[in-house]
Amino acid sequence: MIAFEYRTPKSLKEVYADLREFGTDAKLIAGGTALVIMMKQRLVRPSCLISLRAVRGLNNIAQKDGGLKIGGLATHREVEISSLVRRRTALLAETYRHVATIRVRNMATVGGGLAHADPNQDPPPTLIALGATVKASSADGSRVIPIEEFFTDYYETVLKPEEIITEIYVPKLPAGSGGAFLKFLPRTADDYATVSAAAVVTLDRSKKTFADVRIALGSVGTTPIRAREAEAVLRGQPVKPEALREAAEKAKAAVDPISDFRGSSAYKKEMAGVFVRRALEKAVAGLTARKAKAKTSRPAPRRRRR
């Protein structure tokens, strides 16, 4: 690697000062799992690395307005095992559990992953399906970006060089909601997805009609993709297998994967449809099973003693 300076600021104020000093020659480093590889490959050559690891309070996970706020420096593993995340939005913990190996998840951070913006990553489809937002902070203040507007191209985002991801926010889902994330891994268990799909569905009170649906996919384009036309097919419609199949067809039409060693474009397109359908089925099954369980676990009426 080429020589570089290494800064370890203790507060965001100090990070902003370092960023101002080095400008676009500097790179933030969090877990380093993506950046160090890129530096070794000489794809990036920063003259200064600004480590976020000593900045206090940037890895907090807490409740906010009924939803969850997760600090940009929280590791994938912290999200995966957080009892708060598991209780509130198990789908999120489950999705982060799918990333690579425990060794990678122990280092990789939520903010680092999003800023890296590899379209093959697992968390973005789930975060899009959950309607999450990203908080980007700089010396000039903060702005909140809906996550589906965050990614612009391969490894590209709307982040400005002076901005830091300080938080993501995952809103509370309405009652009657559930979700699923599926990662198609035909090669090895710790690989990137060949195709991934996340679905969050909200059923009406009878559990027979879709009140709302959000669907997103990974590894099928230059960015993670929200399948809006597939969602529209289901909204307000009865929960029926043919509706799920129609939505899967729309999702298939929305994606444009590249051919690579994980599969041809045509194969990935086909799998996008299959995995969207399965994710929807799993999300619905989770909700209807919950209803059935609630029914059967109701205490039996007491018998009168004679």
Alpha carbon of residue 136 to chain centroid: 16
Binding stretches for ligand FAD (CB under 6 A): 27-35, 52, 72, 99-100, 104, 107-109, 111-113, 115-116, 121-123, 164-165, 192
- In this complex, which beta carbon is closest to ligand FAD, that of residue 127 or of residue 227? 127
- In this complex, which beta carbon is closest to ligand FAD, that of residue 167 or of residue 239? 167
Q: How far is the CB of 142 from ligand FAD (least distance, A)?
A: 12
Q: How far is the CB of 133 from ligand FAD (least distance, A)?
A: 15
Q: How far is the CB of 203 from ligand FAD (least distance, A)?
A: 29
Query: Which residue in the shown chain puts its C-beta closest to ligand FAD?
Result: 112
Q: How far is the CB of 92 from ligand FAD (least distance, A)?
A: 13
With contact defined as beta carbons under 8 Å apart, do 141 and 169 qualify?
no
With contact defined as beta carbons under 8 Å apart, do 199 and 215 qualify?
yes
SS3 per-residue string spanning 66-91:
CEEEEECCCEHHHHHHCHHHHHHCHH
H or E stretch at 212? strand 210-218
CA distance 24 to 281: 46
- In this complex, which beta carbon is closest to ligand FAD, that of residue 116 or of residue 269? 116
DSSP structural state of residue 238: B
- In this complex, which beta carbon is closest to ligand FAD, that of residue 33 or of residue 133? 33
Q: How far is the CB of 259 from ligand FAD (least distance, A)?
A: 20
Burial class (CB in 10 A: 0-12, 13-18, 19+), 246: middle
- In this complex, which beta carbon is closest to ligand FAD, that of residue 68 or of residue 73? 73
- Max intra-chain CA distance, the chain: 89
Q: How far is the CB of 207 from ligand FAD (least distance, A)?
A: 32
* Structure token pair of residue 134: 């990203």
- In this complex, which beta carbon is closest to ligand FAD, that of residue 97 or of residue 235? 97
Q: How far is the CB of 69 from ligand FAD (least distance, A)?
A: 14
- What backbone torsions phi and psi does residue 294 show, to the nearest 5 degrees? -60, -40
Q: How far is the CB of 185 from ligand FAD (least distance, A)?
A: 9
CA distance 178 to 261: 33
CA distance 123 to 114: 8
Sign of the alpha-carbon torsion through 269, 105, 70, 165: negative
* Structure token pair of residue 201: 């569905």
Q: How far is CA 31 from CA 60, 81, 104, 261, 303, in A?
A: 16, 18, 9, 27, 61
CA distance 267 to 259: 9
- In this complex, which beta carbon is closest to ligand FAD, that of residue 183 or of residue 277? 183
- In this complex, which beta carbon is closest to ligand FAD, that of residue 31 or of residue 257? 31
